[in-house]
Amino acid sequence: MSDPINSLVEEIRARATALGFDACRLASAGAAWAAGDHLGQFVEAGRHGEMAWMETTLDRRRHPTAMWDRARTAIVLGLNYGPGTDPLVELEDGSRGYISVYARGDDYHELIKGRLKTLAGFIAAKTGEDVKVFVDTAPLMEKPLAQRAGLGWQGKHTNLLSRRHGNWLFLGVILSAADLSVDEAEGEHCGSCTACLDACPTGAFPAPFQLDARRCLSYLTIEFAGPWAEEFREATGSRIYGCDDCLAVCPWNKFAETSREARLAARDEAVSPPLAELAALDDAGFRARFRKSPIKRIGRDRFVRNVLYAIGNSGDVALLDIARRLTGDPDPVVRDAAGWAVARLESARR
């Protein structure tokens, strides 16, 4: 006679696969873990930078049951967004912007959330227990849950790393009040490799498995609203939204496959877009261009600031007039970035 709980778990996995997920594993939502203490130390050290929401939601983030005390099982889903080629090759052309691989297609939040809700409804109907759905924006630590469920492990760059998918997995979580059978946790398989740490353009890793977000180009280009320190402006190169260096150099990517999800396929305008074209965007143009993209949430001003830093690093004096025009922009941070870019290009012209 088959175990009804195990049979249900297999039904859940089959339904997840049918919905397009590439991984589905389960973990206990109630078991103790050290992740909450690690997060507390991260925030206490100020390494979260201006992400004040990490501090205000810290108590709820420490453990899944701190946010929902009825949580018993976490169903962790992974969606592969692996690129077809090495994206870092694109950094060689300084006149074009670099957009992180994850942001080149449709906004993954919207894509995953709808599928999670469908799967959660199935689980609730089968178990008769309540469920809650999470995709990145809620105060839930998905990566430790994913490691506990066996999807992968948090590498030395602190991102989730999978032996099957490399560094390229979006995560979603369903918390259930039902007690379901769980999978074996994944151990750490980084060994002595330090490729991700060595690749970081800004030295954002004070030690293996530790990140100082204040030095991370993903944080600076996306979360940080003000003008950057000089060292980071130069280090960003042509990276205008996010940074993939620590992900892309990982040797485990040799096992990764190109994403099969059509909505995550890179749009032509998101792969090495000309800086001149991006710098000319006004607010309406920005919103129209990125309306289905996660890029839209940072707004035109922050995006154009990033573009201007890349223009200043390009050495392309043909971009000088564009930078000069933006020294009169209504936004003071954009004006500051434009002035910096002008000075750099004028110096390059001499």
Residues marked active site are found at 136
The neighbour count for residue 34, using CB atoms within 10 Å, is: 8
In sequence order, the 6+-apart residues with CB closer than 8 A to the CB of 230 are none
In sequence order, the 6+-apart residues with CB closer than 8 A to the CB of 28 are 72, 73, 74, 148, 182
DSSP class per residue in 141-194: -HHHHHHHHTS-EE-TTSSEEBTTTBT-EEEEEEEESS----PPPP----TT--
Q: What are the counts of helices (DSSP H) followed by strands (DSSP E) for the chain?
A: 16, 8
Beta bridge partners of 25: 76
Are 105 and 265 contacting, i.e. CB atoms less than 8 angstroms apart? Answer: yes
C-alpha–C-alpha distance, residues 269 and 296, integer Å? 14
Are 221 and 241 contacting, i.e. CB atoms less than 8 angstroms apart? Answer: yes
Closest CA to 100 of 301, 266, 289, 242: 242
Closest CA to 123 of 82, 170, 55, 179: 179
Largest CA distance in the chain: 82
Are 87 and 244 contacting, i.e. CB atoms less than 8 angstroms apart? Answer: yes
C-alpha–C-alpha distance, residues 135 and 111, integer Å? 10
Q: What is the DSSP letter of 210?
A: B
Q: What is the DSSP letter of 12?
A: H
